[in-house]
Amino acid sequence: MPQFPPLRKESVYFKHIFKHFPAAFDRKFFLIWTIISFLSMPVFSQETENKEKPTYDSDHPERKVTTYLDVHHAVKNINPLKDQVKLDIIRLNRAVSNFKGKIEGADNDYNLIRENYKKGIDLYYRREYLESSFVLKDTRKMSQNLYKKFTEHFQVQVGELLNSCSESMVNNDLKSIDNQVSFDELRQNQYRLRIAYNQVYMADQMTRDNRYDAALDHLRLAKLYAIHVLKNMETDSAKKEAMDKEYAADIIDAMGGLVGSVQTDNPS
């Protein structure tokens, strides 16, 4: 007997279907109807997909297209981002409080940062992590802009202090020739001044990378060392007291304290 290949599963399936239809049923019509139904399925799914896409603010067009990977990254990074923005607010609060009125628009910028952070954590606790990450990233940018304002102000201030230090160092260097200033004292002041200049150099490196928060810390240290050099070279006690009052806020700020707080005398 001749050997025939076994029927494919698809053939068995259609044969079973056709067996239940009356003989008058047009099988060609059934096949055409099946193909048309199959081709129309992606159209319905596409319409459903378009309806389910979330809509975001018009000022952030990049938010309109999101994927599962975006949501995954948002959930993974939302906690470190939230902690970083909160730390920015704490650090900016110290700067704004210690130099109140000296930086134009700083108070208003700081209040806007707090309000934006409030929106971000509200979305966070509602478990809308993707939109929360967008808001917190915007807040981080706002914080860096405010850091930049303080950095520019500190750069001018440090430049003036270092110029005064250089002039005083020249005078003390000449006095050391006549033994009016000890060599050890002169060497200590030179060492402190070198540290101050190194801090300024590191701050410049940070500003080139747009890391204004880190630049601010280096400039704080530069101010602290420069002020210490000026006070150490001053021999008039009345002028030393005047310097303590003039640079009180800068010293407290550089040491991590708040002007007017109970910890002002011994800031942590």
Domain layout of the chain by residue ranges: 61-144, 150-254
Q: Which of 253, 266, 261 is nearest to 92 (CA)?
A: 253
For the cut 80, the answer to whether the pLDDT of residue 176 exceeds it is no
Report long-range pairs for 91-100 (Cβ below 8 Å, ≥24 apart).
Answer: 91/213, 92/143, 92/146, 92/147, 94/253, 94/256, 94/258, 95/150, 95/216, 95/253, 97/258, 97/259, 98/249, 98/252, 98/253, 98/258, 98/259, 99/150, 99/153, 99/249, 99/253
Q: Which of 126-130, 161-165, 181-185 has the lowest mean pLDDT?
A: 181-185
pLDDT in tens, 246-264: 999 999 999 888 887 755 4
Average pLDDT in the 2-20 region? 49
Band (pLDDT 50/70/90 cuts) for residue 76 is confident
Over residues 229-233, the mean pLDDT reads 89
pLDDT tens string 206-228: 999 999 999 999 999 999 999 99
Q: Is the pLDDT reported for residue 9 higher than 50?
A: no
Inform me whether the pLDDT recorded for 4 exceeds 50: no
**What pLDDT is recorded for position 257?**
86
Question: What is the identity of the amino acid at 152?
Answer: E
| Longest Cα–Cα distance in the chain | 128
